[in-house]
């Protein structure tokens, strides 16, 4: 079911967005050579506790997950691109790590993701990160009242195509509100002018993610982490936005 939020409710969602942005900023600063993925998860967990927030991940168990997630942060390294389960891995020079984080504050959820190049970055990785970020900006700019979901999807896909990346549509953006994942689905490829009309009060997460040389993925033995079929690297960018009469409002902006 698609739900629309009042202006007052959107204001109530702002603290969750600000907190998600704060945590991702801290994680970006911590993600460095020699840092264990479990340390990043611990940092996010401590910030959640200090804030009195509620993790959207730790008990999350959708049909595609092997078990409850058990951590508060997704850490997807190199050929992993989504749902990376934090484990005992120490970041090395040249690694690429995507950090995806969602919590509820006072009952309202926000969801956002960034990708960080660790140590000395590869040129190809910087291009991949820049493309997902540019696609996110394009998708947000297309999220105008009176437009359609397909306009967002088309804008994202055009950026990817111009950069030479293929697109997987198995996972994409989604509605956000009292829960992390709701309707509508926001694919990263679509036809302009098609799909759900964007009305004020709609709150969605827009999240382009691309792999360097493929659009095929598989699930790691941990039952969660999604990896590229050919071993190429992935990047992921995401914001939670609200459609307002004046245009898109980014709730998870730093």
Distance separating alpha carbons of residues 102 and 21, to the nearest angstrom: 10
Q: Tell whether residue 174 is among the known ligand binding residues.
A: yes
Residue 185 contacts by C-beta under 8 Å, 6 or more apart in sequence?
Answer: 172, 173, 174
Distance separating alpha carbons of residues 76 and 82, to the nearest angstrom: 6
Each residue's pLDDT tens digit, 150-192: 999 999 999 999 999 999 999 999 999 999 999 999 999 999 9
Supply the Cα-derived Rg of the chain in whole angstroms: 17
Cα of 203 vs its chain's centroid, Å = 14
Percent of the chain residues topping a pLDDT of 70: 100
Integer CA distances (angstroms), 209 to 33, 74, 232, in order: 24, 14, 13
Cα torsion 120, 122, 123, 128: sign: negative
| 153 token code pair | 């999807």
Angle (CA) 161 27 178, round 5°: 75
| 182 token code pair | 């709701």
Bridge pairing between strands 209-211 and 234-236:
antiparallel
pLDDT at 64 over 90: no
Q: Tell whether residue 95 is among the known ligand binding residues.
A: no
Are 167 and 188 contacting, i.e. CB atoms less than 8 angstroms apart?
yes
Q: Tell whether residue 41 is among the known ligand binding residues.
A: no
Q: Tell whether residue 45 is among the known ligand binding residues.
A: no
Q: Where are the domains of the chain?
A: 7-250
In the CATH scheme, what is the code of domain 7-250? 3.90.230.10
Distance separating alpha carbons of residues 47 and 44, to the nearest angstrom: 5
Give pTM, 2 decimals.
0.97
Residue range 122-139: mean pLDDT, rounded? 98
The band of 63, judged by pLDDT with boundaries at 50, 70 and 90, is: confident
Q: Tell whether residue 61 is among the known ligand binding residues.
A: no
Q: Tell whether residue 183 is among the known ligand binding residues.
A: no
HSE-CB of 18 using CA atoms within 13 angstroms = 8
Distance separating alpha carbons of residues 178 and 12, to the nearest angstrom: 11
Q: Tell whether residue 111 is among the known ligand binding residues.
A: yes
End-to-end CA distance of the chain: 30
């Amino acid at each position: 079911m698609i739900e629309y939020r009042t202006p007052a409710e959107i204001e109530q969602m702002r603290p969750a967005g600000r907190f998600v942005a704060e945590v991702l900023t801290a994680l970006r600063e911590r993600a460095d050579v020699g840092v264990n993925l479990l340390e990043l998860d611990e940092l996010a967990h401590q910030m959640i506790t200090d804030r009195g927030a509620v993790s959207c991940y730790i008990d999350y168990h959708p049909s595609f997950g092997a078990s409850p997630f058990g951590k508060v942060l997704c850490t997807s390294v190199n050929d992993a691109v989504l749902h990376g389960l934090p484990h005992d891995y120490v970041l090395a020079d040249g690694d690429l790590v995507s950090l995806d984080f969602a919590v509820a504050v006072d009952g309202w959820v926000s969801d956002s993701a960034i990708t960080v190049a660790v140590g000395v970055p590869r040129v190809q990785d910087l291009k991949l990160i820049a493309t997902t970020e540019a696609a996110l900006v394009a998708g947000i700019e297309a999220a105008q009242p009176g437009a359609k979901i397909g306009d967002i999807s088309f804008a994202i896909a055009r950026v990817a195509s111009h950069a030479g990346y293929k697109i997987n549509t198995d996972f994409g953006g989604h509605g956000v509100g009292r829960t992390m994942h709701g309707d509508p689905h926001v694919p990263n490829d679509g036809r302009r002018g098609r799909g759900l009309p964007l009305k004020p009060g709609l709150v969605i997460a827009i999240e382009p993610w691309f792999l360097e040389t493929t659009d095929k993925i598989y699930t790691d033995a941990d039952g969660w982490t999604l990896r590229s079929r050919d071993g190429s690297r992935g990047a992921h960018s995401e914001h939670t936005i609200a459609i307002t009469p004046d245009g898109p409002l980014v709730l998870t902006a730093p």
